Structure 1
Amino acid sequence: ISRAAVVIGPEGGFSPAERSRIDGLQNSLKLSLGPRILRADTAAIAALTCYQSVCGDWT
């Protein structure tokens, strides 16, 4: 992966319109951090930790 973006959704989830727009993006991949509702700052750390675990360091 040469470039990646992580989108953290609101606590209530994305609206149907937001989901549709994200689904329409080329090469988008939807992932879940599980059933728990996380604060945005915690979700960002968790998501980036998972990314780094799979893809390695950013360099």
Structure 2
Amino acid sequence: MESIKRKVLFNKPGGTASKNSIMARVTLPPEYVKTLGITPEDREIVISLSGKKIIIEKA
């Protein structure tokens, strides 16, 4: 399995979010997205947490 190191981006969400809310995002390499078959028309994924691993799967 190939691994790539990325940084987590943190933002303060707007709208009706609470004052102390923090939103976290991670960008995915385009080749990973293509391999999973994720497209702008079919972009639903399932994210799960297994111990200390985050697993992203095509829905």
Regarding TM over 0.5, the answer is no
Query: Which protein shows a greater Rg?
Result: 2
TM-score relative to the length of structure 2: 0.23
Quick check: which one's helix share is greater? 1
TM-score by length of 1: 0.23
Larger RCO (CA under 8 A, 6+ residues apart): 1
Whose strand fraction is larger, Structure 1's or Structure 2's? 2
